[in-house]
Amino acid sequence: MTLRDDGTYDWDMEGLQRHALLVMQGLEAAVENLDDSRVLADILYELGRKHARFNVHEDMFDKLWHALKFGLEDALQDRFNREVAQAWFIIFRFLSRKIIEGMLEHRAKMAEEKAKQEIGDKPDKITDKGKPR
């Protein structure tokens, strides 16, 4: 997806389909590893790191939930009811919170590394050109 000059989006439908498939595979992997919290935490943490690198923001997960719910309603049709929606929402909320934790941790780490670089690149203000007076 790219932003056009007029403020509208140019959708890459193939890319969107690939991403949707990756999301579903990620959900499947998460559900398969619900009993192994360490593996699940590692998977979700890494997903968070990847999403942080692509500048994904936390509020985007709300939009993802609505898209996922729409897809579930379409796929399950009359089998989609309040209980099914609630069950999926609970697991989605758990997974998205863990992914967001990974995103926030990654951003904090990157900000810390950037600050260290900036401090290391600047001469000491008490000294001339980094050398004691």
pLDDT in tens, 91-114: 889 889 999 999 999 999 999 998
User: What's the CATH number where 83 sits?
Assistant: 1.10.490.10
Any domain includes 129: no
Of 66, 65, 69, nearest to 82 by C-alpha is: 69
CA 111 to CA 69: how far, in whole Å?
34
The predicted pLDDT at position 83 comes to 97
Any domain includes 5: no
Any domain includes 9: no
CA 19 to mean position of chain CA atoms = 12
Any domain includes 130: no
Q: pTM of the prediction?
A: 0.70
Percent of the chain with pLDDT over 90: 34
- Domain range enclosing 79: 15-121
Any domain includes 117: yes
Evaluate if residue 74 carries a pLDDT over 80.
yes
> Is residue 45 packed enough to be buried (19+ CB in 10 Å), middle (13-18) or exposed (0-12)?
middle
Any domain includes 85: yes
Pairing type for strands 2-3 and 9-10 reads antiparallel
Q: What is the pLDDT of residues 58-69, one digit of tens each?
A: 998 888 899 889
Number of structural domains in the chain? 1
Evaluate if residue 35 carries a pLDDT over 70.
yes
CA 96 to mean position of chain CA atoms = 7
Structure-model confidence comparison of residues 50 and 123, the more confident one: 50
CA 24 to CA 123: how far, in whole Å?
50
Any domain includes 71: yes
Q: Which helix (H) or strand (E) holds 69?
A: helix 60-76
User: Coil, strand or helix: which one is 73?
Assistant: helix
Any domain includes 10: no
The CA-atom distances, in angstroms, between 96 and each of 2, 23, 31, 92, 93 are 24, 11, 13, 6, 5
DSSP state of 3: E
